[in-house]
Amino acid sequence: MSYETEFPDFVLDVDLPAGFRDLSWHNNAMPCWSRALADKTELMLWIDYADPAHRDSAKNPRFFLARMDMTFSDTFESISTDDYAEIEEHIESYFPYVFYSLAELEEQGLEIARNMPNDDHARNWDWTSFNEINDEIFSRGEE
């Protein structure tokens, strides 16, 4: 499944944050993406059509972000808005480095570089972005 096949007339005109996987399904009202959190919840991001006339309800905001349980049945918090910058701010509160390029992070000398795991796997991996490093650190958080 992907939004391109499930919603062929949908135009994705915003940059998706790193690590979100496409869960779009044609029986839903709009495309959606998800990313797991360390506490066994998921951040779900729904993006509706830019043209309100193509939405289920023209009054609905275009963007919806929710933290949900792993079964997607319970919602713990959510935000809906027509301003994608608000969505980005909320995502960044969970993943602080997700919207930075590798060069920006290196230039700023951010803490993440100092938090890199120091083991054979980490030293020998061909890291292409700080998002990958962040994901590695995040995945080890429960050890």
Kindly state the tokens that stand for 37: 């959190």
Residues 75 and 108 placed together within one structural domain of the fold: no
CB of 58 closer than 8 Å to CB of 67: no
Considering only residues 6 and 141, tell me which one the structure prediction assigns the higher pLDDT. Answer: 6
Give me the pLDDT at residue 143, please. Answer: 38
CB of 84 closer than 8 Å to CB of 99: no
Residues 15 and 78 placed together within one structural domain of the fold: yes
Distance of CA 18 to the CA centre of its chain: 6
Show the domain range for 43. Answer: 3-94
pLDDT at 79 over 50: yes
Residues 83 and 126 placed together within one structural domain of the fold: no
Kindly state the tokens that stand for 14: 């915003």
DSSP calls for 19-82? TPEE---TTSSS-EEEEE-TTSEEEEEEE--SSGGGSSSTTS-SEEEEEEETTS--EEEEEEES
Angle at 38 between CA 97 and CA 111, to 5 degrees: 30
Residues 51 and 71 placed together within one structural domain of the fold: yes
Considering only residues 141 and 44, tell me which one the structure prediction assigns the higher pLDDT. Answer: 44
Residues 70 and 26 placed together within one structural domain of the fold: yes
Residues 23 and 76 placed together within one structural domain of the fold: yes
- The pTM (predicted TM-score) of the whole model is 0.69
Residues 125 and 107 placed together within one structural domain of the fold: yes
Kindly state the tokens that stand for 116: 């890199």
Residues 21 and 64 placed together within one structural domain of the fold: yes
Number of domains comprising the chain: 2
Residues 71 and 112 placed together within one structural domain of the fold: no
pLDDT in tens, 6-52: 999 999 999 888 778 999 999 999 999 998 887 788 899 999 999 99
Residues 88 and 60 placed together within one structural domain of the fold: yes
Residue 21 phi/psi, 5-degree rounding, is -105, 145
Residues 25 and 75 placed together within one structural domain of the fold: yes
